Amino acid sequence: MSSSAEELREEVRRRYADSARAVGESSKSGSCGGGACCSDDSEASAAGSPRFGEVLYDLDQRGELPDAAVLASLGCGNPTAVADLHEGDVVLDLGSGGGIDVILSARRVGPTGTAYGLDMTDEMLALARRNAADAGVTNVHFLKGMIEAIPLPASSVDVIISNCVINLSTDKPAVLAEMARVLKPGGRVGVSDVVAEDRLAPQDRAERGSYVGCIAGALSKAEYEAGLEVAGFGQVSVEFTHEVADGMHAAIIQGVKVGDPGGVTPPVVEPRRKSGCC
Ligand SMILES: C[S@@+](CC[C@H](N)C(=O)[O-])C[C@H]1O[C@@H](n2cnc3c(N)ncnc32)[C@H](O)[C@@H]1O
C-alpha cells in the first residue's frame, strides 16, 4: 500500500475513533457522535432531508436497540431492510461501527444463525460490543480487521451487508474480491453505500465532499457494477435511493456470488470405453 493510501486509512480510522468516543461520552446528548457523521454537512438533515444516520431506520427498529447503538449510526442506508436474511444464516457486516446492523441482523437470523461485525477501529469495536451486550444478543462476534483482508475462511458466509464503508476503502477491488472469497456459492450481498453518477470523474466527486466524509472515495454506478462482476458476482444491481450531494447518491447494491473465481475448475474426465463396446 502506498504511503498516501496508508495516510488516508489512518485519517479514516482517527475520524471514526473520535466518533465512537463521542458517542460513548455523550450518548444522551442526541448528537451524532459529536457531529462526526459520515457526512461533512448536517444542514440537509437539520432541514428535514435526512441523508445519513439513524433516521434511515424505522421507529420499530430503533425501538429495539440501545440508545448508543442508534446514536452511533453513521450509515447512508439500512442494509437490513434489503438484505435477504433467513433463520440460521451467517451474516457479515463490513465496517460494523457501533454495531447497529449486526444487532438487527442477529435478531433476524435467530439463535441458529451468527452475525459477524468487522471493523478496523478499536474504539468502534468496544462500542459495538457494549451495545450488543446491552441489546442482549449473544449470537454476535465483532472482529478486528480490514475489509480488504477479511479474517474469515473462504465460503463461510451466507450474506454480506455493509453501510457506507466500501467508499472509504483505499483498495476497492481487494474488498470486492474478499467478499466473493468468503461468501458461499449462491451467497448474497445487500450493501448500502454512496455512489456517484457515471458523469462524475473522480475529481468531480472530490469537489463535492471529503474522503472521510464518505463522498470523495465513492465509486460510480458503472464502476461498482463492473467491479462486482469482475469479482464473481451475478444479478448485480446498484439502485440510487436518495441524493447526498450533487450527483452523488446513497444506493442499495445487490449481487449473488455465481461461482468461485479463484477456484480451479476440475478437468472433465471422459469415461473410458471398452474396445468393441457401443
Ligand atoms: C461511516 S462508518 C459506518 C459504520 C456503520 N456501518 C454504520 O452504519 O453506522 C465507517 C466504519 O467503517 C470502518 N472502516 C472504514 N474503513 C475500513 C476498512 N478499510 N476496514 C475495516 N473497517 C473500516 C470505520 O472504522 C467505521 O467504523
The atom of ligand 1 lying closest to the CA of 175 is: 19
Q: Is 12 in the pocket of ligand 1 (CB under 6 A)?
A: yes
Measure the CA–CA gap between 49 and 32, rounded to whole angstroms.
15
Contact criterion met (CB below 8 Å) for 131 and 108: no
- In this structure, the number of other CB atoms found within 10 A of the CB of residue 216 comes to 22
251 within 8 A of 192, measured Cβ to Cβ: yes
Distances (CA, A) of 120 to 70, 72, 84, 148, 220: 20, 16, 26, 10, 25
Largest interatomic CA distance in the chain: 87
Q: What is the 150 CA–ligand 1 centroid distance (Å)? A: 13
Q: Are 129 and 141 in contact (CB under 8 A)?
A: no
16 lines ligand 1 (CB under 6 A): yes
Q: Are 8 and 206 in contact (CB under 8 A)?
A: no
Per-residue pLDDT 10s for the chain (278 aa) are: 777 999 999 999 999 999 999 987 766 554 444 443 465 544 444 334 457 878 788 888 888 888 888 888 898 999 988 888 999 999 999 999 999 999 999 999 999 999 999 999 999 999 999 999 999 999 999 999 999 999 999 999 999 999 999 999 999 999 999 999 999 999 999 999 999 999 999 999 999 999 999 999 999 999 999 999 999 999 999 999 999 999 999 999 999 999 654 443 333 333 333 333 32
Give the C-alpha separation, 151 to 249, whole Å.
30
The answer to whether the predicted template modeling score (pTM) of the entire model surpasses 0.85 is yes
- pLDDT of 67 reads 85
Q: From its phi and psi, is residue 34 left (phi > 0), alpha (psi between -120 and 50) or beta?
A: left
Pocket test for ligand 1, best of 9, 10, 16 (most atoms within 8 A of CB): 16
201 Cα–ligand 1 center, Å:
24
- Measure 38 CA to ligand 1 centroid, in angstroms: 9
